[in-house]
Amino acid sequence: MTSPTEPLAPQVLLAIYRKALLIQLVDERMRSLLSSGRMAAVYYSPRGQEILAAAMAVHLQPTDYLVTTYRGVHDQLAKGIPLRLLFAEYYGKAAGACKGKGGPMHITYPAGGIMVTTGVVGAGMPIANGLALASQLRGDGRVTLCNFGDGASNIGAFHESLNMASLWQLPVIFLCQNNGYGECTKYEKATSVAHVAERAASYDMRGVTVDGNDPQAMWHAAREAVEYARAGNGPTLLEAKTFRFMGHYFGDPGAYIPKEEYAAALARDPMPPCRAAVLRTQAATEAQLAQIQQEIVADIDDAFKFATESSPPELSEIDRDIYAEGVSA
Protein backbone atom coordinates (compact mmCIF):
# COMPACT_ATOMS: atom_id res chain seq x y z
CA MET A 1 0.00 0.00 0.00
CA THR A 2 1.10 3.54 -0.60
CA SER A 3 1.29 5.58 2.57
CA PRO A 4 0.42 9.07 1.51
CA THR A 5 0.76 11.21 4.57
CA GLU A 6 -0.09 14.51 3.01
CA PRO A 7 -3.69 15.42 3.95
CA LEU A 8 -5.98 16.52 1.18
CA ALA A 9 -6.63 20.21 0.73
CA PRO A 10 -10.18 20.96 1.88
CA GLN A 11 -11.36 21.94 -1.60
CA VAL A 12 -9.98 18.65 -3.00
CA LEU A 13 -11.80 16.69 -0.33
CA LEU A 14 -14.98 18.55 -1.11
CA ALA A 15 -14.58 17.93 -4.84
CA ILE A 16 -14.26 14.21 -4.14
CA TYR A 17 -17.19 14.21 -1.76
CA ARG A 18 -19.40 16.11 -4.19
CA LYS A 19 -18.82 13.52 -6.92
CA ALA A 20 -19.23 10.66 -4.46
CA LEU A 21 -22.47 12.12 -3.14
CA LEU A 22 -23.79 12.44 -6.68
CA ILE A 23 -23.01 8.74 -7.20
CA GLN A 24 -24.64 7.76 -3.92
CA LEU A 25 -27.78 9.76 -4.57
CA VAL A 26 -28.16 8.54 -8.15
CA ASP A 27 -27.67 4.96 -6.99
CA GLU A 28 -30.27 5.41 -4.27
CA ARG A 29 -32.72 6.78 -6.80
CA MET A 30 -32.08 3.99 -9.27
CA ARG A 31 -32.67 1.33 -6.62
CA SER A 32 -35.76 3.11 -5.39
CA LEU A 33 -37.18 3.29 -8.92
CA LEU A 34 -36.39 -0.37 -9.54
CA SER A 35 -37.79 -1.68 -6.27
CA SER A 36 -40.99 0.35 -6.65
CA GLY A 37 -41.47 -0.90 -10.21
CA ARG A 38 -41.09 2.55 -11.72
CA MET A 39 -38.10 1.48 -13.76
CA ALA A 40 -37.32 -1.80 -15.51
CA ALA A 41 -33.64 -2.24 -16.25
CA VAL A 42 -30.69 -4.42 -15.44
CA TYR A 43 -28.76 -2.65 -12.73
CA TYR A 44 -25.46 -3.26 -10.97
CA SER A 45 -25.21 -1.00 -7.97
CA PRO A 46 -21.88 0.67 -7.18
CA ARG A 47 -22.93 1.35 -3.56
CA GLY A 48 -19.75 1.32 -1.51
CA GLN A 49 -17.41 2.12 -4.41
CA GLU A 50 -18.18 5.85 -4.66
CA ILE A 51 -15.01 7.28 -3.16
CA LEU A 52 -12.51 5.49 -5.36
CA ALA A 53 -14.30 6.56 -8.54
CA ALA A 54 -14.55 10.16 -7.36
CA ALA A 55 -10.95 10.37 -6.12
CA MET A 56 -9.74 9.04 -9.46
CA ALA A 57 -11.94 11.23 -11.63
CA VAL A 58 -10.81 14.53 -10.11
CA HIS A 59 -7.45 13.92 -11.81
CA LEU A 60 -8.95 13.45 -15.26
CA GLN A 61 -9.72 15.90 -18.02
CA PRO A 62 -12.95 15.64 -20.04
CA THR A 63 -10.77 14.67 -23.01
CA ASP A 64 -9.20 11.73 -21.18
CA TYR A 65 -10.70 8.42 -22.20
CA LEU A 66 -12.77 6.18 -19.95
CA VAL A 67 -13.53 2.51 -20.45
CA THR A 68 -15.72 0.86 -17.87
CA THR A 69 -18.00 -2.08 -17.24
CA TYR A 70 -21.65 -2.87 -16.56
CA ARG A 71 -21.04 -1.87 -12.94
CA GLY A 72 -19.88 1.52 -14.12
CA VAL A 73 -22.47 4.15 -13.28
CA HIS A 74 -20.15 5.55 -10.59
CA ASP A 75 -17.31 5.81 -13.12
CA GLN A 76 -19.61 7.45 -15.66
CA LEU A 77 -21.01 9.95 -13.16
CA ALA A 78 -17.55 10.79 -11.88
CA LYS A 79 -16.43 11.39 -15.48
CA GLY A 80 -19.36 13.70 -16.11
CA ILE A 81 -22.19 11.88 -17.85
CA PRO A 82 -25.11 14.34 -17.96
CA LEU A 83 -27.93 13.03 -15.76
CA ARG A 84 -30.61 13.49 -18.39
CA LEU A 85 -28.71 11.34 -20.88
CA LEU A 86 -28.09 8.70 -18.23
CA PHE A 87 -31.64 8.44 -16.96
CA ALA A 88 -33.19 8.57 -20.42
CA GLU A 89 -30.93 5.72 -21.51
CA TYR A 90 -31.93 3.63 -18.51
CA TYR A 91 -35.51 4.23 -19.57
CA GLY A 92 -34.73 3.25 -23.17
CA LYS A 93 -35.68 6.64 -24.57
CA ALA A 94 -34.63 8.29 -27.82
CA ALA A 95 -33.11 11.16 -25.85
CA GLY A 96 -30.87 8.76 -23.91
CA ALA A 97 -27.10 8.73 -24.15
CA CYS A 98 -27.27 5.96 -26.76
CA LYS A 99 -30.72 6.77 -28.20
CA GLY A 100 -32.08 3.92 -26.08
CA LYS A 101 -30.17 1.38 -28.13
CA GLY A 102 -27.43 0.50 -25.68
CA GLY A 103 -29.02 0.55 -22.25
CA PRO A 104 -27.42 0.67 -18.80
CA MET A 105 -24.60 -1.70 -19.74
CA HIS A 106 -23.41 0.32 -22.74
CA ILE A 107 -23.47 3.95 -21.65
CA THR A 108 -21.35 5.99 -24.09
CA TYR A 109 -20.61 9.71 -24.02
CA PRO A 110 -17.60 10.57 -26.17
CA ALA A 111 -18.04 14.29 -25.48
CA GLY A 112 -16.93 13.49 -21.93
CA GLY A 113 -14.45 10.81 -22.92
CA ILE A 114 -16.74 7.90 -22.00
CA MET A 115 -15.81 5.70 -24.96
CA VAL A 116 -16.91 2.20 -24.02
CA THR A 117 -19.04 0.57 -21.35
CA THR A 118 -18.86 -3.16 -21.82
CA GLY A 119 -21.03 -5.96 -20.51
CA VAL A 120 -18.27 -8.51 -20.97
CA VAL A 121 -15.85 -9.06 -18.08
CA GLY A 122 -12.30 -8.08 -19.00
CA ALA A 123 -13.16 -6.96 -22.50
CA GLY A 124 -12.46 -3.29 -21.90
CA MET A 125 -8.77 -3.71 -21.29
CA PRO A 126 -7.67 -4.58 -24.84
CA ILE A 127 -9.74 -1.64 -26.09
CA ALA A 128 -8.24 0.72 -23.53
CA ASN A 129 -4.83 -0.16 -24.93
CA GLY A 130 -5.98 0.90 -28.37
CA LEU A 131 -7.29 4.24 -27.15
CA ALA A 132 -4.00 4.80 -25.34
CA LEU A 133 -2.02 3.74 -28.40
CA ALA A 134 -3.82 6.35 -30.47
CA SER A 135 -2.93 8.98 -27.86
CA GLN A 136 0.68 7.86 -27.81
CA LEU A 137 1.00 7.97 -31.60
CA ARG A 138 -0.58 11.42 -31.75
CA GLY A 139 1.13 12.77 -28.68
CA ASP A 140 -2.17 14.27 -27.56
CA GLY A 141 -1.36 13.97 -23.85
CA ARG A 142 -4.54 12.09 -23.02
CA VAL A 143 -4.61 9.19 -20.61
CA THR A 144 -7.04 6.29 -20.69
CA LEU A 145 -8.67 5.03 -17.50
CA CYS A 146 -9.80 1.43 -17.70
CA ASN A 147 -12.05 0.16 -14.90
CA PHE A 148 -12.80 -3.44 -14.10
CA GLY A 149 -13.44 -5.68 -11.13
CA ASP A 150 -11.31 -8.23 -9.36
CA GLY A 151 -13.06 -11.00 -11.27
CA ALA A 152 -11.67 -9.64 -14.54
CA SER A 153 -8.11 -10.24 -13.36
CA ASN A 154 -8.58 -13.95 -13.99
CA ILE A 155 -9.58 -13.69 -17.64
CA GLY A 156 -7.18 -13.91 -20.55
CA ALA A 157 -7.82 -10.40 -21.82
CA PHE A 158 -6.39 -8.99 -18.58
CA HIS A 159 -3.07 -10.74 -19.09
CA GLU A 160 -2.80 -10.05 -22.81
CA SER A 161 -3.56 -6.40 -22.18
CA LEU A 162 -1.15 -5.87 -19.32
CA ASN A 163 1.64 -7.43 -21.34
CA MET A 164 0.95 -5.24 -24.35
CA ALA A 165 0.50 -2.05 -22.33
CA SER A 166 3.78 -2.59 -20.52
CA LEU A 167 5.63 -3.55 -23.68
CA TRP A 168 4.49 -0.39 -25.47
CA GLN A 169 4.51 1.89 -22.39
CA LEU A 170 0.96 2.97 -23.08
CA PRO A 171 -0.61 5.90 -21.20
CA VAL A 172 -3.28 3.81 -19.49
CA ILE A 173 -4.38 3.30 -15.91
CA PHE A 174 -5.86 -0.11 -15.18
CA LEU A 175 -8.06 0.49 -12.17
CA CYS A 176 -9.07 -2.79 -10.59
CA GLN A 177 -11.95 -2.13 -8.23
CA ASN A 178 -11.51 -5.09 -5.93
CA ASN A 179 -14.85 -5.36 -4.15
CA GLY A 180 -14.17 -8.79 -2.76
CA TYR A 181 -16.52 -10.76 -4.98
CA GLY A 182 -16.49 -11.76 -8.65
CA GLU A 183 -20.20 -12.20 -9.27
CA CYS A 184 -21.09 -14.45 -6.31
CA THR A 185 -17.68 -16.04 -5.74
CA LYS A 186 -15.38 -14.75 -3.04
CA TYR A 187 -12.14 -13.23 -4.28
CA GLU A 188 -9.96 -15.81 -2.54
CA LYS A 189 -11.78 -18.70 -4.17
CA ALA A 190 -11.14 -17.39 -7.66
CA THR A 191 -7.84 -15.55 -7.53
CA SER A 192 -4.42 -17.04 -6.87
CA VAL A 193 -2.77 -13.94 -5.41
CA ALA A 194 -3.57 -11.93 -2.29
CA HIS A 195 -3.59 -8.67 -4.19
CA VAL A 196 -4.43 -8.21 -7.88
CA ALA A 197 -1.72 -5.57 -8.15
CA GLU A 198 0.90 -8.24 -7.49
CA ARG A 199 0.20 -9.48 -10.99
CA ALA A 200 1.71 -6.27 -12.40
CA ALA A 201 5.15 -7.61 -11.55
CA SER A 202 4.69 -10.37 -14.12
CA TYR A 203 4.47 -7.70 -16.79
CA ASP A 204 7.18 -5.40 -15.43
CA MET A 205 4.45 -2.89 -14.73
CA ARG A 206 3.89 -0.51 -11.87
CA GLY A 207 1.46 -2.21 -9.48
CA VAL A 208 -0.13 -0.46 -6.52
CA THR A 209 -2.72 -1.60 -3.98
CA VAL A 210 -4.61 1.10 -2.13
CA ASP A 211 -7.59 1.40 0.19
CA GLY A 212 -10.13 2.64 -2.32
CA ASN A 213 -12.47 3.70 0.45
CA ASP A 214 -9.93 6.18 1.84
CA PRO A 215 -10.21 9.40 -0.15
CA GLN A 216 -6.75 10.57 0.82
CA ALA A 217 -4.95 7.34 -0.04
CA MET A 218 -6.97 6.88 -3.22
CA TRP A 219 -6.43 10.46 -4.36
CA HIS A 220 -2.67 10.18 -3.99
CA ALA A 221 -2.49 6.79 -5.68
CA ALA A 222 -4.69 7.96 -8.52
CA ARG A 223 -2.64 11.11 -8.98
CA GLU A 224 0.58 9.15 -9.20
CA ALA A 225 -0.87 6.75 -11.76
CA VAL A 226 -2.37 9.52 -13.90
CA GLU A 227 0.76 11.66 -13.78
CA TYR A 228 2.93 8.64 -14.54
CA ALA A 229 0.87 7.83 -17.62
CA ARG A 230 0.57 11.43 -18.77
CA ALA A 231 4.32 11.90 -18.52
CA GLY A 232 4.78 9.00 -20.92
CA ASN A 233 6.19 6.59 -18.36
CA GLY A 234 3.59 3.93 -19.08
CA PRO A 235 0.77 2.09 -17.41
CA THR A 236 -0.11 1.34 -13.80
CA LEU A 237 -2.18 -1.49 -12.42
CA LEU A 238 -3.92 0.24 -9.53
CA GLU A 239 -5.93 -2.00 -7.26
CA ALA A 240 -8.46 -0.19 -5.10
CA LYS A 241 -9.78 -2.34 -2.28
CA THR A 242 -13.43 -1.73 -1.61
CA PHE A 243 -16.71 -3.52 -0.97
CA ARG A 244 -19.95 -3.97 -2.88
CA PHE A 245 -22.92 -3.47 -0.59
CA MET A 246 -25.75 -4.36 -2.92
CA GLY A 247 -24.55 -7.66 -4.33
CA HIS A 248 -23.80 -8.52 -7.90
CA TYR A 249 -27.07 -7.55 -9.55
CA PHE A 250 -30.06 -5.60 -8.31
CA GLY A 251 -32.11 -7.98 -6.22
CA ASP A 252 -29.16 -10.25 -5.42
CA PRO A 253 -29.98 -11.61 -1.95
CA GLY A 254 -26.25 -11.95 -1.29
CA ALA A 255 -26.57 -15.14 0.73
CA TYR A 256 -23.01 -16.05 -0.25
CA ILE A 257 -21.60 -13.18 1.85
CA PRO A 258 -21.03 -14.17 5.51
CA LYS A 259 -23.06 -11.92 7.82
CA GLU A 260 -20.05 -10.91 9.92
CA GLU A 261 -18.11 -9.95 6.81
CA TYR A 262 -20.98 -7.86 5.55
CA ALA A 263 -21.45 -6.13 8.90
CA ALA A 264 -17.75 -5.33 9.12
CA ALA A 265 -17.75 -3.96 5.58
CA LEU A 266 -20.82 -1.86 6.25
CA ALA A 267 -19.11 -0.40 9.30
CA ARG A 268 -16.46 0.80 6.86
CA ASP A 269 -18.95 2.45 4.49
CA PRO A 270 -16.74 5.12 2.92
CA MET A 271 -19.41 7.79 2.65
CA PRO A 272 -19.99 8.79 6.32
CA PRO A 273 -16.28 9.24 7.14
CA CYS A 274 -15.76 11.29 3.98
CA ARG A 275 -18.62 13.53 4.94
CA ALA A 276 -17.21 13.81 8.44
CA ALA A 277 -13.81 14.74 7.04
CA VAL A 278 -15.36 17.43 4.87
CA LEU A 279 -16.99 18.95 7.94
CA ARG A 280 -13.94 18.47 10.15
CA THR A 281 -11.63 20.21 7.69
CA GLN A 282 -14.21 22.93 7.21
CA ALA A 283 -14.29 22.23 3.49
CA ALA A 284 -18.01 22.81 3.86
CA THR A 285 -20.54 23.41 6.59
CA GLU A 286 -23.57 21.22 7.29
CA ALA A 287 -25.68 23.87 5.64
CA GLN A 288 -23.49 23.93 2.55
CA LEU A 289 -23.60 20.15 2.28
CA ALA A 290 -27.36 20.24 2.60
CA GLN A 291 -27.40 22.81 -0.18
CA ILE A 292 -25.18 20.59 -2.40
CA GLN A 293 -27.41 17.62 -1.73
CA GLN A 294 -30.50 19.64 -2.55
CA GLU A 295 -28.97 20.71 -5.86
CA ILE A 296 -28.08 17.15 -6.78
CA VAL A 297 -31.52 15.87 -5.87
CA ALA A 298 -33.07 18.62 -7.98
CA ASP A 299 -30.90 17.54 -10.92
CA ILE A 300 -31.92 13.92 -10.40
CA ASP A 301 -35.59 14.92 -10.22
CA ASP A 302 -35.16 16.84 -13.45
CA ALA A 303 -33.40 13.91 -15.15
CA PHE A 304 -36.06 11.47 -13.97
CA LYS A 305 -38.84 13.73 -15.24
CA PHE A 306 -37.04 14.23 -18.53
CA ALA A 307 -36.54 10.48 -18.94
CA THR A 308 -40.06 9.44 -18.10
CA GLU A 309 -41.67 12.15 -20.21
CA SER A 310 -39.53 11.75 -23.31
CA SER A 311 -40.35 9.46 -26.22
CA PRO A 312 -39.16 5.98 -26.98
CA PRO A 313 -37.08 5.55 -30.14
CA GLU A 314 -38.85 5.49 -33.49
CA LEU A 315 -39.14 1.93 -34.78
CA SER A 316 -37.00 2.97 -37.75
CA GLU A 317 -34.09 3.31 -35.31
CA ILE A 318 -33.70 -0.46 -35.42
CA ASP A 319 -32.20 -0.19 -38.90
CA ARG A 320 -29.96 2.79 -38.10
CA ASP A 321 -26.40 2.66 -36.81
CA ILE A 322 -25.76 -0.86 -38.05
CA TYR A 323 -23.46 0.47 -40.73
CA ALA A 324 -22.25 3.96 -41.59
CA GLU A 325 -24.66 4.04 -44.50
CA GLY A 326 -27.53 3.42 -42.15
CA VAL A 327 -28.84 0.37 -43.96
CA SER A 328 -29.09 -3.18 -42.69
CA ALA A 329 -28.22 -6.16 -44.88
* The one among 135, 178, 191, 209 contacting other proteins by CB under 8 A: 135
The arrangement of strands across the sheet holding 172-178 comes to 114-118, 65-69, 144-149, 172-178, 236-241, 206-211
Alpha-carbon dihedral sign for residues 205, 66, 266, 90: negative
- Using rule CB under 8 A, residue 126 touches other proteins: yes
Question: Between 188 and 227, how does the x/- string for binding to other proteins read (CB under 8 A)?
Answer: ----------------------------------------
* The one among 1, 25, 41, 157 contacting other proteins by CB under 8 A: 157
**Residue 323 CB coordination number (10 Å):** 10
Nearer to other proteins, 82 or 180 (CB): 82
Instruction: Name the 3-class secondary structure at 172.
Output: strand
- Using rule CB under 8 A, residue 175 touches other proteins: no
Q: Which residues of 167-187 are buried (b: 16+ CB within 10 A; e: fewer)?
A: eeebbbbbbbbbbbbbeeeeb
Nearer to other proteins, 133 or 190 (CB): 133
Report yes or no: 74 and 107 within 8 Å, Cβ to Cβ.
no
* The one among 77, 128, 145, 225 contacting other proteins by CB under 8 A: 128
Smallest gap from residue 196 Cβ to other proteins (A) = 18
Nearer to other proteins, 66 or 303 (CB): 66
Which residues make beta-bridge pairs with 236?
A: 173, 206
What single letter denotes the amino acid at residue 245?
A: F
- Rounded to an integer, what distance in angstroms lies between the CA atom of residue 178 and that of residue 53? 12
- Using rule CB under 8 A, residue 65 touches other proteins: yes
Binding segment for other proteins (CB under 8 A), chosen from 158-166, 180-188, 222-230, 286-294, is 158-166
- Using rule CB under 8 A, residue 97 touches other proteins: yes
Provide DSSP, 112-131: GTEEEEESSTTTHHHHHHHH
Nearer to other proteins, 22 or 164 (CB): 164
| Residues engaged in binding other proteins (CB under 8 A) | 65, 67, 96-103, 106, 108-110, 115-116, 118-120, 123, 125-135, 137, 144, 156-157, 160-161, 163-164, 167, 320-324, 327-329
